[in-house]
Amino acid sequence: QVQPVESGGGSVRAGGSLRLSCAVSEYPYSIPCMGWFRQAPGNEREGVATIYSGTGSIYYFDSVKGRFTIYQDSAKKTLYLQMNSLKPEDTAVYYCAVSPFCVSQRTSADDFSFWGQGTQVTVSS
- pLDDT score, position 19: 98
Residues in contact with 1: Cβ distance below 8 Å, sequence separation at least 6, in sequence order: 26, 27
Neighbouring C-beta atoms of residue 13, cutoff 10 Å: 10
- pLDDT score, position 122: 98
CB 6 within 8 Å of CB 115:
no
2/17 Cα distance (integer angstroms):
29
- pLDDT score, position 30: 86
- pLDDT score, position 29: 85
- pLDDT score, position 25: 78
- pLDDT score, position 74: 82
Q: What is the pLDDT along the chain (125 residues), one digit of tens a residue?
A: 789 999 999 999 999 999 999 999 788 888 899 999 999 999 999 999 999 999 999 999 999 999 999 999 888 889 999 999 999 999 999 999 999 989 899 999 999 999 999 999 999 99
| CA distance readout (Å), 95 to 2, 22, 55, 108, 125 | 14, 9, 23, 13, 23
